[in-house]
């Protein structure tokens, strides 16, 4: 018989267990309800946002780059619509199948296909693979017609760079190409706006004004399904195009400089002698910057890189050349300013058989039979070396150096505008002692007086020198970037000379060199006063002339190309009312009077014919002198 107390104990135990179980159920249910309340009410916004992030994707597009325009508003570097094909590997179900379909549709070669596969292995799965960045309309249409079978593939209408004048502006503007690791690391702006396919400036003004030109990204928001496939576009936020940069250059004159230098290595610069506006600045040979926008082929790159005429070098600002006889106006001016000689100072030039002698060294004049008795004007007109040997000897290199630097030689013309501009070199006794650890020799002064020896200048410096001679010896500040009228008015023109009569004499002597019989550029003159110009020729040796060379007396065409003299010419015009200055350099061209000076005729006619157009264009906005 069961004891009653045992039943009570069992019942109590059951009740206790039921209570514990019920309590546990209540606690668990309470936790579930509490968690649901927390998730659905308290954390509603958070999880709604996370849900939207899974459902809604953002697509950042490359920014639209700002334009470059010339003085007259012509676009010289702009943009065009490029048809591209993008792909994100992690959004593709079967990458190899998709790539094979693309290969067949676009008729890619095996080499192109393997290149894409290698490219894919170098990027993260979530990064964009640019399959093609410049599709034809035909292939772009074929891709769009097959999108039903190309999951994760995105045909894109993008904006890319275009240089409508091709090689004409290359050494001013530079070019753009796809941003690389160095570009991203060196610029916070590029890092912030980087997307696959972003093009950035590599050299020239494209690089200098990168932060102004780059613009801001457009943002595209669209809805995707559970597989990450695009369903519909929800919103589009248009980015801002980069700023427009206006230049002082005249495209028509720039095109002419390119034509004049066809098949030649050299430079032509043209400048307004009052505003400092650079009308044209061309280095030859050049190359088409459009080839770099989507990546230049290895074969094309090697052709440019290995060209002996060095098309990658901007000769106008990076080429260091002996100025030859184009320095003689500065030598004469320095001697007059320092009252070393007068304009009537006379030297007897006897030619090769009676060279200028100093401490056992002989210094020959270029004219074999000699020039006879020369005063300063005649010596400038006929470019008599013997005369300038003696003037330089009396003047001294330090005084010459001071005057040359005043007129813009020996320092960068554009400051920090170009990172590849060279300073050139105007030597002095101090420079040689500190740079080479040796004392200056008098013989070095002699050859500096005819633009040889250590002295080195760039073509744009020679153009600036000539412009400041032409405007009466006043300091100007050359510019490529067009400024507002108010900004230009702030510039003050300081005088570079003590006596204005001296600068007028130099102008007259340069006139005689071009427009009078026996002048070294007489054959290149223009008689019409509207176009008449004054100039100075220069022939710069690239190797020491030996006695054997003098005896052979070879013609330029008989000398190996790399041993031929450089041909130079500087000039200003129109003479009666000067407004423009030019410098012309032809590498290994031979005589400046024969090769460089004739190009000035066509150049001045074009520049002066377009003067009124330039003067009247946007007259209210820009300075008109």
Name the average pLDDT for the chain. Answer: 86
The pLDDT assigned to 152 comes to: 74
The pLDDT assigned to 73 comes to: 93
Tokens representing residue 281 in the block: 């600045």
C-alpha 195: how far from its chain's center?
Answer: 24
pTM of the shown model = 0.84
Closest to 90 measured CA to CA, from 151, 42, 131? 151
Distance CA 335, CA 222 (A): 76
Whether 45 shows a pLDDT value over 70: the answer reads no
Rounded mean pLDDT, 463-489: 86
C-alpha 350: how far from its chain's center?
Answer: 48
Whether 536 shows a pLDDT value over 90: the answer reads yes
Whether 367 shows a pLDDT value over 90: the answer reads no
The architecture of the domain spanning 251-286+311-616 is 3-Layer(aba) Sandwich (3.40)
The pLDDT assigned to 485 comes to: 60
Whether 225 shows a pLDDT value over 80: the answer reads no
Q: With contact defined as beta carbons under 8 Å apart, do 83 and 142 qualify? A: no
The angle that helices 328-337 and 397-406 make with each other, rounded to 10 degrees, is: 110
The pLDDT assigned to 555 comes to: 56
Whether 197 shows a pLDDT value over 80: the answer reads no
Distance CA 428, CA 431 (A): 5
Q: Please state which of the ranges 183-192, 419-428, 474-483 shows the lowest mean pLDDT.
A: 183-192
Over the stretch 95-138, which tens digit does the pLDDT of each residue have?
888 888 888 888 778 777 787 777 777 777 767 777 777 788 88
The pLDDT assigned to 422 comes to: 96
- Rounded (5°) CA angle 354-387-574: 140
In which band, very low, low, confident or very high, does the pLDDT at 1 lie, cut at 50, 70 and 90?
very low
Rounded mean pLDDT, 207-230: 77
Over the stretch 566-624, which tens digit does the pLDDT of each residue have?
999 999 999 999 999 999 999 998 889 999 999 999 999 999 999 999 988 866 454 44
Residue 196 phi/psi, 5-degree rounding, is -60, 130
Tokens representing residue 367 in the block: 């004219």
Q: Helix, strand, or coil here: 482?
A: coil
Whether 360 shows a pLDDT value over 90: the answer reads no
Report CA-CA distances (Å) from 196 to 112, 125, 132, 154, 228.
19, 13, 12, 13, 20
All CATH 3.90.1310.10 domain ranges in the chain, comma separated: 64-246
Whether 81 shows a pLDDT value over 90: the answer reads no
Distance CA 283, CA 183 (A): 26
Q: Please state which of the ranges 34-43, 225-234, 604-613 shows the lowest mean pLDDT.
A: 225-234
Q: Which CATH class name applies to 64-246?
A: alpha beta
The pLDDT assigned to 54 comes to: 57
Whether 625 shows a pLDDT value over 50: the answer reads no
- Who wins on pLDDT, 180 or 503? 503
Quick check: bond before 285 cis, omega within 30? Answer: yes
All CATH 3.40.710.10 domain ranges in the chain, comma separated: 251-286+311-616
Exposure string of 319-331, with b = 16+ CB inside 10 Å and e = fewer, is bebbbbbbbbbbb
């Amino acid at each position: 018989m069961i004891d009653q107390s045992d039943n009570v104990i069992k019942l109590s135990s059951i009740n206790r267990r039921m209570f514990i179980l019920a309590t546990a159920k209540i606690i668990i249910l309470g936790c579930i309800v509490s968690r649901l309340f927390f998730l659905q009410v308290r954390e509603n916004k958070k999880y709604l946002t996370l849900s939207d992030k899974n459902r809604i994707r953002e697509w950042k597009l490359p920014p639209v780059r700002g334009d470059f325009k010339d003085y007259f508003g012509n676009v010289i570097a702009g943009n065009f619509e490029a048809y591209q094909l993008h792909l994100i590997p992690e959004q593709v179900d079967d990458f190899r199948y998709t790539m094979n379909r693309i290969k067949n549709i676009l008729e890619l070669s095996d080499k192109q296909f393997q290149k894409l596969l290698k490219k894919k292995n170098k990027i993260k799965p979530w990064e964009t693979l640019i399959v093609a960045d410049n599709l034809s309309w035909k292939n772009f249409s074929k891709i769009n017609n097959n999108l039903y079978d190309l999951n994760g593939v995105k045909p894109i209408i993008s904006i890319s760079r275009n240089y409508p004048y091709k090689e004409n502006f290359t050494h001013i503007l530079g070019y753009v190409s796809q941003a690389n690791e160095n570009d991203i690391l060196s610029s916070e702006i590029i890092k912030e706006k980087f997307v696959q396919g972003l093009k950035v400036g590599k050299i020239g003004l494209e690089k200098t004004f990168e932060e102004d030109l780059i613009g801001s990204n457009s943002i595209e928001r669209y809805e995707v399904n559970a597989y990450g496939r695009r369903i519909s576009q929800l919103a589009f936020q248009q980015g801002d195009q980069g700023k427009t940069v206006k230049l002082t250059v005249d495209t028509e004159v720039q095109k002419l400089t390119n034509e004049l230098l066809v098949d030649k290595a050299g430079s032509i610069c043209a400048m307004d002698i009052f505003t400092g506006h650079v009308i044209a600045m061309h280095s030859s040979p050049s190359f088409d910057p459009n080839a770099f926008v989507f990546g230049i082929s290895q074969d094309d790159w090697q052709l440019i890189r290995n060209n002996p005429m060095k098309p990658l070098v901007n000769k106008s600002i990076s080429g260091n050349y002996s100025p030859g006889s184009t320095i003689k106006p500065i030598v004469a001016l320095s001697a007059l300013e320092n009252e070393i000689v007068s304009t009537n100072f006379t030297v007897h030039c006897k030619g090769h058989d009676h060279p200028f002698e100093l401490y056992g060294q002989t210094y020959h004049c270029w004219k074999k039979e000699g020039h006879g008795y020369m005063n300063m004007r005649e010596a400038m007109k006929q470019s008599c070396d013997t005369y300038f040997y003696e003037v330089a000897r009396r003047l001294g290199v330090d005084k010459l150096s001071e005057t040359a630097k005043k007129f813009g030689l020996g320092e960068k013309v554009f400051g920090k505008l170009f990172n590849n501009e060279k300073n050139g070199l105007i030597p002095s006794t101090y420079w040689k002692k500190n740079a080479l650890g040796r004392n200056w020799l008098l013989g070095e002064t002699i050859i500096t007086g005819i633009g040889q020896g250590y002295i080195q200048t760039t073509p744009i410096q020679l153009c600036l020198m000539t412009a400041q001679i032409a405007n009466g010896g006043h300091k100007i500040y050359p510019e490529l970037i067009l400024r507002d009228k108010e900004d230009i008015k702030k510039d003050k023109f300081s005088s570079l000379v003590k006596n204005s009569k001296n600068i007028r004499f130099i102008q007259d002597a340069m006139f005689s060199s071009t427009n009078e019989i026996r002048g070294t550029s007489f054959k290149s003159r223009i008689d019409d006063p509207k176009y008449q110009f004054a100039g100075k020729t220069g022939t710069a040796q690239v190797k020491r002339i030996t006695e054997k060379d003098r005896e052979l007396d070879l013609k330029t065409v008989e000398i190996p190309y790399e041993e031929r003299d450089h041909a130079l010419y500087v000039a200003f015009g129109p003479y009666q009312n000067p407004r423009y200055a030019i410098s012309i350099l032809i590498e290994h061209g031979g005589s400046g009077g024969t090769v460089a000076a004739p190009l000035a005729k066509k150049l001045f006619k074009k520049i002066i014919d377009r003067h009124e157009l330039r003067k009247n264009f946007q007259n209210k906005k820009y300075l008109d002198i």
